[in-house]
Chain A
Amino acid sequence: MKIKFLFHGLLVIGMAFSCKSSQQDKEDEYNSNVMKTVKYPEKGDMLLLTDRPPQLETPLKILRQDFTPNEYFFVRWHLAMIPKVIDAEAFRLEITGPSVNKTISLSLNDLKTKFTPYSIVALAECAGNSRSFFKPRVAGGQWCNGAMGNAKWTGVKVKDILEMAGIKDNAVDVAFDGLDEAPLPSVPDFVKSLGIKHAMDGEVMIAYQMNGKDIPMLNGYPLKLVVPGWFATYWVGALHKIEVLDHPFDGFWMKKAYTIADNPQYNENPKDLAKKTVPVTTLALHSIFVEPEPDTKMAVGKPYDMEGLAFDGGKGITKVDISLDNGSTWTHATLDPELGKYAWRRWRYTWTPAKAGKYTLKVKATNAAGETQAAEQWNRSGYARNVIEQMDVTVN
């Protein structure tokens, strides 16, 4: 156990520098791309992308756990003025707008006592997860694979809350607003929307707990919107206002930000950008390596336990294939039991290399609809990565 723990410790150190080149190491912090290891409130050691507003990445080794501990769950805020003071007793969630019968205001206690609690296991993945792997590189949060986490969310169905307020027949969209604010009046407030049918589907929920505990402040205490199968950009943190609208919501964070090329692979050419873009919505089908990590050294004749994660927007992962020869031949990995329709699914494959050399390993997932991953993909914002990933290893 101690040896294993030490090994994990070394992996953390390795991870912190996995997104940079050795040249950058010598330069100053402003130009280093080094991801520092930092400790933020209610968090374990995380990788720092940015400090204001905070963006923290989950170290890869944490993804070996089926449920991402709250202390290691990734952090992503958009606006500099994140909520830093929350009075749990004074806090109210307001449900209002032209298409509710009456405006209601709910305390945390109301949410915990006046509704039937609902729990769901779901993966939250940032739309820009794995962005740093796009070639050519694109601007934005330079995430590796740790802008995602799987958790059990407990709270109240949005449907139940909206029914308490009473929904008029003319309802079109539902807008969700968090307590974070823009530092300038010209910068748009962070508000996301869902169609009324989606909001009322009985799965979209407002969580007051993740993994059986209060949500950390950096993850949106006291309430977080959970939209199973959809990218985490919709999972509004510190949710305090729900507006039911009689018209389509046209806010900045739906119409201008988080839009992507309008084709099934979310693909476009850097020299000929897609003319039509649409809001990014459901998780793209993707699979990653968790073990090995880049540049791992393996030994001839020694079994190596590979593992990783595969996920999609809820159709369900049915198959993961591994290639040990840069995609020429493929073989099935085994799948761990499903944790839930909207959770990630772990794959495993034990490989005993027969001879020394450099190998390019690949991983490819297939879902219940028969969809599989793209061989190539690029888009200007580095969203919804779904490309077949590869890992270079050396066998001695």
Chain B
Amino acid sequence: MKSRTYIFVYLSAICIVLASCAGHKAKTEVVQPPIEIKGSVHTMNLVSDEPVFPDQPGRDIFLSNCITCHSTRYIAMQPNFPEKNWDAEVKKMVEKFGAPITPDNQKIIKDYLVKVKGK
């Protein structure tokens, strides 16, 4: 239950950010809010700042599977890789990091990455 709630919160937050950031270019300096301290309670609020990926076939599957655990920026920061590297990365997420992605969707995600971050 707990995990599902978190996923919902993340996906909602990301949808808002994707909608509001669409069209913005790189190099915008991001200033996050400071820590709030009330009594002995320290609270950190971080505003999401995720790059928008191109609207090409496979994008929905890519977003719904990958961004539960990490920002699109994890992919944005990678160099452009050939297909075999992206294949290995998707497999690594599933086999090592425990991402629950079906074999069909793994292929769709890999193809999408090759299209937008391929070499």
Contact = CB atoms under 8 A, between A and B. Distances in A.
Interface of A: 28-42, 48-54, 79-81, 84-90, 137, 139, 141-142, 182-188, 217-218, 221, 252, 256-257
Nearest to A91: B40
Given A50-B71, A81-B6, A184-B3, A33 B30 contact: no
Nearest to A81: B6
B76 A29 contact: yes
A221 B37 CA distance: 13
A86 B99 CA distance: 28
B49 A30 contact: no
Nearest to B43: A85
Q: 6 tightest CB-CB pairs across the interface, nearest first?
A: A186-B98, A29-B26, A52-B71, A89-B40, A30-B51, A29-B51
B79 interface: yes
A328 to B, nearest CB: 31
B10 A188 contact: no
Contacts of B45: 41, 84
B42 A217 contact: yes
B69 A28 contact: no
Nearest to B34: A41
A183 B68 contact: yes
Contact of B29 (A36, A51, A87): A36
Contact of A36 (B27, B78, B98): B27
A32 B73 CA distance: 10
Interface residues of B, number: 55
A50 B35 contact: no
Given A51-B71, A52-B73, A183-B6, 20 more contacts: A28-B26, A30-B116, A36-B26, A38-B31, A39-B30, A40-B46, A42-B34, A48-B49, A50-B74, A51-B48, A51-B73, A52-B48, A86-B41, A139-B85, A141-B77, A183-B68, A184-B68, A217-B42, A218-B44, A256-B96
A131 to B, nearest CB: 11
A50 B66 CA distance: 14
Contacts of B3: 183-185
B33 interface: yes
B32 interface: yes
B57 interface: no
A186 B97 CA distance: 8
B43 to A, nearest CB: 5
A184 B52 contact: no
13 contacts: A34-B27, A36-B28, A38-B31, A50-B70, A79-B69, A85-B43, A87-B42, A88-B41, A137-B81, A139-B78, A184-B100, A217-B44, A221-B42
Interface of B: 3, 6-7, 10, 24-35, 39-46, 48-54, 68-81, 85, 88-89, 96-100, 116-117
B50 to A, nearest CB: 6
B36 to A, nearest CB: 9
Residue picked from B28, B44, B77, B80, most chain A C-beta under 10 Å: B77
A249 B10 CA distance: 32
A37 B45 CA distance: 18
A53 B32 CA distance: 14
A257 B117 CA distance: 24
A188 B42 CA distance: 26
A37 B51 CA distance: 15
Contacts of B42: 85-88, 217, 221
Contact of A50 (B34, B52, B77): B77
Contacts of A53: 70
B86 to A, nearest CB: 9
Contacts of A137: 79, 81
Contacts of B24: 29
A142 B78 CA distance: 7
A171 to B, nearest CB: 29
B30 A48 contact: yes
Contacts of A184: 3, 7, 68-69, 98-100
A29 B52 contact: yes
A30 B72 contact: yes
Contact of A51 (B28, B35, B43, B49): B49
A156 B68 CA distance: 37
B76 A32 contact: yes
A234 B77 CA distance: 24
A37 B46 contact: no
A137 B33 CA distance: 34
A78 to B, nearest CB: 9
Given A30-B53, A32-B76, A85 B35 contact: no
A51 B50 CA distance: 7
A34 B29 CA distance: 12
